[in-house]
Structures are given as C-alpha cells and as structure tokens.
Amino acid sequence: MKITFAGLPLVLTLAACGNGSEPVQNHAEAEVGHGEEGVISLTPRQIATAGIEVVSPTIGGNGGAIERPALLESDPQATRIVAATVPGRIVELRHNLGDSVRRGETLAVLESREAAGLQAEVQRAAAGAELARTTLARDEALYTKGFRPLREVQISRAAAKQADVALRLAREQVAASGARGGSYNRIVIAAPISGQVIARSAMLGQTFAADAAETELFRVARLDRLSVTLSLSPADAGRVRPGMTVQVTAPGRSQAARIGFVSPALDTATRQVPAIAMLDNRAGQWRAGEPVTAAIQLPGTGDGAIRVPSTAVQTVEGRTVVFVRTDTGFRAVPVTLGRQDGAMVVVTAGLTGRERIAAANSFTLKSALGAAEAGHED
C-alpha cells in the first residue's frame, strides 16, 4: 500500500520484529502485528525529501552527532565568473571544462568592433599627448629666449596635462575591456585567478550584444578547499557553533571538516538554517557538486545519561518510542524517559546510545505507521 507524506509517495514495509526473527517484508500491504514494533522501509533519498533528520544520542562525555545530507561546493571566496566584457563574437577558445589554468592565462578571444574603437581611441589620445608635449617643449624654449609670454607656456602645460589624462583614461578603458594582443579588434578573455574551469558555457562563434542579459563564459575556482553546505532544524542550529568538527563521508571516503558559518536567519523556502563547513581538498579526493553525508560532532555534558532531542520522541499505540535508523529505513523502539533537559530528554531504558535516530520530522514516521494500521484494519 502506498502512503504519501511530506509530498513524497513512499512504499512502507512494516514487519513483525519480535523474538529476534528477521522481519517479513510485504510491499503490497503495510501491516503492524499486535504488540509488535513497526519497521518502515525508506531509501536515503526519501528520508532526505521528507526532511527527516538523523542524529546520534548524547551519551556521557560524547555529545553525539547531528547527521544531515550535504553538498560539496566550490568556495565562494575562491570562485570567479568570467564574462564577456564588450559586445562581440567568440573566435577562439583555449580551455575546456576541467582544465587547470593560471592567472592571466587566455581562456577565449573575442572579435569586437567596440574593441577596435577603444584601440583607435588610444591611438588618437597618444597622438594628442605627443603633440601637446611637443608644443609645450617648443613654447618653453621660446619663453626662455623671450619670444613667448608666460601665459602661453602655462596654457601649453595645461593642454599637455589634459592630453596625458585622456591617454591614461583610454588605456584604462582598453584594460577594463580585456583588449590586448596584436590585433586592434580582438578582446582577450583571461583567467582572473589560478584554478580549474568548473563551468563553461562559451561556444565558438557565439555572439554577445551590448544589452545581453547573460554573458558568462567560464567559471574558474580553486578547489583546494571546498564548502560543505547543509541545512539544520532551528533546534539543532542552536547547538551548533563555528569551529565544531564535521565528519564528511561518501562511498570509500571520510574526512573531518570545520563549521565556519551558521546562518542567523532561516531559509525562506525550506524554513531550515543554512550552515557551511570548510573541507581541505588539497589531496583532490573530493569534487564540487558531490552529495555527501555530514555528521556534526556535539560536545558532551559530562554525565553518563543518554539524551535524545525531544523531537525524536513519539507516542505510538500508547507506547513512548523513538525511531532507530536501520539499513533499510527505521524501526520504532520503545523507550523509558527520565527528566527533561532543555531541548533534550533523558532516556533511562531502551537505547544503548550507539544508535542513530530520527529527530526533526520524526512525526512523519509516526503518521506513516498510523496510516498503515488504519489501512490494514479496513
């Protein structure tokens, strides 16, 4: 039987788990045996889509961990967008996606009438500056011999300064456009930083108009350090501080990172708190855009009690349970609770502290069990 929650169709497989026997799965109909624990089969993708947060209980000196899906991205501080600076047409491409480049290295060449106009303006300004300097030198020589009044010399000096300013401005406009090389109508698009080409939208023959909304050609990034972006529930975000260790894992790899930023505001779309950790990637074993699992290690409390977030505790058929993560989903495990400790609650029986449990949005698992039982009775 299919049950939909959190906007995601899920097939829930509920099985008897008593007497230590293996659960018997039934994908056609969800069943809960009388007095027995329910097992919910979910894929990692379904868990992430439903917004179910998986954490480790706090035990003794171990503060446990908040485990969330995360995404590796290039460091925004070390990423540059390379765009067309003037209208033109791409006549040459030097680098492709994934290539390593050095700062100042040519990425592409554009042919542009505007570039020709800028170069011509430099030539005109240079000729004007040369004429002004020659005129000033002549007037100063004549003034020394008494054949020119001081006023005319001062006028020549002002004209020479104006010509120098015009030449400098023309050269700066050429530099800002990227125009350089042997041809007056060519614009060289150079790499602004040393790094790797992580995106390329440029195509040979592509043209850009003066009012084009999108002129991005390349993205260049240094990948020796990556950012790990993840989302936290507001309750968990209150327990996370910059500098905390994050264990980043993917198939065949695991590495520690450090929390660098926890947003003071919720994301308006997800109502979650964005957080960023920085991951050393000098060994090159991680890739930008790669999905990973991030486990934030929390500080311990100093006693031997087992604590879980209060959002992890649910009541199912009159029993207090938490949902323990299994290889195939979650299992409802009865627990005995002790005192409330802020946003956490002490568990006196039912857990060892080594489990991983559903915290935020665990009520969706409870709802799924209730819907399955109602459908079975019908």
Total domains present in the chain: 2
CA angle 150, 154, 155 (to 5 degrees): 120
Q: Considering the domain boundaries, does residue 135 fall inside one?
A: yes
Q: Considering the domain boundaries, does residue 228 fall inside one?
A: yes
Q: Which amino acid, 125?
A: A
What average pLDDT does range 166-188 have in this prediction?
77
Q: Considering the domain boundaries, does residue 184 fall inside one?
A: yes
pLDDT of residue 17: 39
Residue that is written with structure tokens 């050095």 in the block: 102
- For residue range 56-80, list pLDDT tens digits in order: 888 765 566 788 899 999 888 899 9
pLDDT > 90 in the chain, percent: 34
- Split at pLDDT 50, 70, 90, the class of 2 is very low
Q: Considering the domain boundaries, does residue 51 fall inside one?
A: no
Write out the residue range of the structural domain in which residue 251 sits: 64-75+223-299
Q: Considering the domain boundaries, does residue 45 fall inside one?
A: no
What average pLDDT does range 314-330 have in this prediction?
89
Average pLDDT in the chain: 81
CATH number of the domain bearing residue 242: 2.40.30.170
Q: Considering the domain boundaries, does residue 366 fall inside one?
A: no
Higher pLDDT, 371 or 331: 331
Q: What is the value of pTM for the model shown?
A: 0.52
The candidate with the shortest Cα–Cα distance to 52, out of 61, 60, 65, 43, is 43
- For residue range 114-136, list pLDDT tens digits in order: 877 888 888 899 999 999 999 99
Which among 194, 221, 248 is the end of a domain?
221
Residue that is written with structure tokens 């049950």 in the block: 3
Q: Which residues is 200 bridged to in the sheet?
A: 218
Residues 232 and 177 in one domain: no
